[in-house]
Amino acid sequence: MNNLVIFLILIPLVASSFSLLNRYFPRLRIAEAASFGALILCLIFLGLLFQPLLKQKVINYPVGGWQEPLGINLYMDGLAWGSSLMGMTIALLALIFAWGEKKYRYNFYFFFLILIAGMEGVILTGDLFNMFVFFEILSIASYILIAYSRERKSILASFNYLLISSLGMGFFLLAIFLLYQQTGILSLREIAYLQLQTKGNLPVFNLAIISLIVGIGVKAAFIPLHTWLPDAHAFAPHPVSAILSGVMIKVSFLSIWRILRLFQAIKTQQIFLWIGAITAFMAVIWAIAQDDSKKLLAYHSISQMGFIIASFGVATSLSLAASFYHLLNHSLFKSLLFLSIGCVICSMEERDIQKLSGLGRKMPFVFLAFMVGALSICGIPPFNGYVSKNLISLSLKEHPLAYYLIFLASIGTVASFTKLSQIFRKDRAKRKNQGKEEASASRLHQKKLSRGMLIPLGILSILCILTGILPHLWTAAISKLITGEELRLIPVVYSLSSLTNSVFILGLGFALYLGIRSSLGQRILKYIRGLKLGLNNSLFLLVGGFLFLIFLGWIMEKGL
Amino acid sequence: MADYLIIILFILGIWGMIKKDNLIKKVIALNIFNSCIVILFIYLGSRTGSTAPIMEKGIKDVVDPLPQALMLTAIVIGICLTALALSLILKIYQHYETLSIHRIEEKIKQKQ
Amino acid sequence: MEESEIVYVISRKLAPYILLFGLYLISFGHLSPGGGFQGGVVLASGVILLCLSRGTTLTQRLFPADRIGLVEVGAFSLFLLIGIAGLVAGRYFLGNFLPLGKAGQVPSAGFIFFLNIIIGLKVGAGIILVCFYLLREK
């Protein structure tokens, strides 16, 4: 039964080599069949692994039979199980969407399966250099998938991402060097064991941890390492956007989670509180200013990752459960939003918010799915965003400055999603002003959406509602999964104060939206939209962020 | 002495990636950066012994072979990244007709 | 690229020895410096030498691009097959299931010899394909 762990990485790789056979038999749909079969088989194996995981807390699988510390071990604990489940589900739904879109050749499925294999490898591995190799497999597959449509902006976005991410991975290798020189072993658990024994006798340990965080953090997109994300997620094909935003940034953050929890670096964990709060707040400001619908969603990915990171920074068990819960919820509703906007773009062939209107009547199902996603991300009961955002606010109660930054970020989220939903409403003010524009916009040719594109929207909406209905059950289950112990005190989420809090946020968000529509608001937004970081400046920001974090770590070691 | 060389190469690689205008020069700087990390591993990993890690009769004091195996993988990954970056630059040149990142960003700004 | 008679003649004489040296590096990988990746790159450099001296269209008469693609795909599948064979034979994935011979000879160290050959072929084929596409004349 333990063998099933390796199959989670092996089956996508084998299926990818099957999908290459499609080149010699172009009539049979080998690529799609192989990828669907692989993902369904992996989900079945994950289900089979649940019972052994409850019995033994950690399932250990040595690759090749070589035990630690000589060999590479795969560890499956509760955190890995939860994130594999989330990753496989979103990947299956994105694959159904890609099959429905009917314009991807066999090499799309090949790279998609390699992306999934790399993702599983990152989640399951217990060896530092193996993590580096799987991160690079993940990255190379994602560079190719982002540039798949061969338009100018996609290729430039992929190139930006390549340079920034390679620089980050160089820092990761630097961290591996520092740790290997001190301890002589590469396995994560053994290094953590050694470090806990010698109690901080390893002098360059902080530098190594900061390098690791910067290296993996380029993929997890917190400020100041976020500059590649808007272009890359906005100009990628729609299922690729969904899986990048929904799974890949979270898998990278989960690696940082695992490393920091293993090394028990509580001080470094608390830096994340401030990084998360600042990320959440600033990304929402950029998000409101965007006119391209997918770029708005991409900036929101950064902002919601800020929520997750801020909650991780407060290192109590309630906040960890809240962070993982929001991670799961965000992958569900962000994929839903990306896929529904993808449906809109596919059928209307127009991405600009200002040029689309009145789509609510033309595509009611997509409108319904979008409303489920938008209400979830704004934190409206009874959807899942409400539960996790409330838990995050409750766990941040002792840090008032971060609490207020997150509060302002929630208001901004409501405002920007009201702005995004204007493509579905009939805009009477616009029709009065620009009569000719409206007439030409309604001449936009609307293509019919195939059923394959609508199935994942339905399934994701149902999952969004399901994970929000019974918050006690879900919070207890998640806490047991990731920390192995029960939460002593689960706060009541549907209490009167929390409900009034969300009504307050909703009201202020609407007020902000009405303020944006004035002319002063439009001028400010135009200025924010013009502030764009070029490639040189984003690389400089990365290196600057690295030096700043080292400086911060040095101060915290000397001072505290 | 070689330690200073490694630090100089490191700073040179990062500086090249940030400041150079031509896209191909950025990729060359990325290669310099990767080579610097490889040299770091192998040079500082070779201080633990005195001869190459080939097991023949009578040779006892070999260097640690693990960094060398790790760096093989890192070199392979560096080659894949360079090949991918160069193909992307080929496509960027076909679309934008210039290799300078400043002019490409100006063209994007003008279009909007 | 201008034609140069000296380069053309010497590259035709030198390329087989480069391919032979690549094969030596691959097969003695577990005994001396070398191995799958290094030997594969030397194999590729033999073919690239022919490309650089005379052009890709002429070199493709000897090394056709679709056959090399087939080699690459086949080597990938064969690697996974050997790994799964280790799984089926009772041990773990990529566990050794061939007998270990005497140390210091070529057929020792179990299945690493076969893995080296497979990796060498795959890497060589991959880099040949990359250079065929990048050095293509329009």
- For the ranges A158-172, A313-327, A398-412, A449-463, the maximum mean pLDDT occurs at A158-172
Cα distance from A64 to chain C (closest Cα, Å)?
Answer: 4
CA distance A276 to A322: 14
| pLDDT tens digit sequence for A5-63 | 888 899 999 999 888 888 777 777 778 888 899 999 999 998 888 888 888 778 888 88
CB distance A535–B101 less than 8 Å? yes
Mean pLDDT over the full length of chain A: 85
Q: With a cut of 80, say whether residue A187 has pLDDT above it.
A: yes
Mean pLDDT over the full length of chain C: 85
Tell me whether A204 touches chain B (CB under 8 Å): no
CA distance A329 to A377: 9
| pLDDT tens digit sequence for B24-54 | 999 999 999 999 999 999 888 788 777 777 7
* pLDDT score of C103: 66
List A178's β-bridge partners, or say none. Answer: none
A508 Cβ contact list (under 8 Å, min separation 6): A411, A414
Tell me whether C133 touches chain B (CB under 8 Å): yes
Q: How many residues does chain A have?
A: 560
CB distance A144–B102 less than 8 Å? no
Tell me whether A531 touches chain B (CB under 8 Å): no
Which residues in chain A are contacts of B81 at CB distance < 8 A?
136, 140, 162, 166
CA distance A160 to B89: 11
For residue C91, the chain A residue with the least C-alpha distance is A65
Q: Could you tell me if residue A370 is left (phi over 0), alpha (psi between -120 and 50 degrees) or otherwise beta?
A: alpha
Cα distance from A29 to chain C (closest Cα, Å)?
Answer: 18
* pLDDT score of C58: 87
Q: Which of B6, B14, B18 to mutate to test the interface with A (most CBs of A within 10 A)?
A: B18
| Model ipTM value | 0.94
b/e sequence A80-118, b meaning 16+ C-beta within 10 Å = bbbbbbbbbbbbbbbbbbbbbbeebebbbbbbbbbbbbb
Which residues in chain C are contacts of A3 at CB distance < 8 A?
87, 92
Cα distance from A16 to chain C (closest Cα, Å)?
Answer: 9
CB atoms < 10 A from the CB of A524, how many? 16
* pLDDT score of A432: 53
Size of interface A-C (CB pairs under 8 A): 34
Size of interface A-B (CB pairs under 8 A): 86
| pLDDT tens digit sequence for A351-379 | 888 888 777 778 888 888 999 899 888 88
Q: How open is the CA angle A499-A503-A508, to the nearest 5 degrees?
A: 150
Report the candidate in B72, B9, B81 with the shortest Cα–Cα distance to residue B42.
B72
Cα distance from B41 to chain A (closest Cα, Å)?
Answer: 7
CB distance A14–C80 less than 8 Å? yes
Helix (H) or strand (E) holding A421, with range, is none
The chains in contact with chain B, meaning 3 or more Cβ pairs closer than 8 Å, are A, C
* pLDDT score of A508: 87
A134 Cβ contact list (under 8 Å, min separation 6): A118, A121, A122, A125
CB distance B84–A162 less than 8 Å? yes
| pLDDT tens digit sequence for A68-115 | 777 888 888 888 999 999 999 999 999 999 988 888 888 899 999 999
CA distance A300 to B79: 34
Q: By the 8 A CB rule, do A235 and A245 touch? A: no
- pTM to 2 decimal places: 0.92
CA distance A386 to A494: 9
| pLDDT tens digit sequence for C12-53 | 899 999 999 999 999 888 888 888 899 999 999 999 999 888
Q: With a cut of 80, say whether residue A553 has pLDDT above it.
A: no
Q: By the 8 A CB rule, do C100 and C108 touch? A: yes
The chains in contact with chain A, meaning 3 or more Cβ pairs closer than 8 Å, are B, C
* pLDDT score of A439: 46
Q: With a cut of 60, say whether residue A122 has pLDDT above it.
A: yes
* pLDDT score of A208: 86
Q: For residues A496-517, give the mean pLDDT.
A: 84
* pLDDT score of A440: 46
| Integer CA distances (angstroms), C83 to A12, A117, A551, C115, in order | 14, 16, 46, 10
Of A132, A162, A170, nearest to B88 by CB-CB distance is A162
* pLDDT score of A168: 92
Report the candidate in A257, A311, A317, A273 with the shortest Cα–Cα distance to residue A490.
A317
Tell me whether A167 touches chain B (CB under 8 Å): yes
| pLDDT tens digit sequence for A453-463 | 888 888 888 88
Q: By the 8 A CB rule, do A132 and A172 touch? A: yes
Cα distance from A11 to chain C (closest Cα, Å)?
Answer: 10
Q: With a cut of 80, say whether residue A200 has pLDDT above it.
A: no
Of A20, A21, A64, nearest to C93 by CB-CB distance is A64
Structure tokens at B52: 């190459």
Q: Can you give the C-alpha Rg of chain C in angstroms?
A: 17
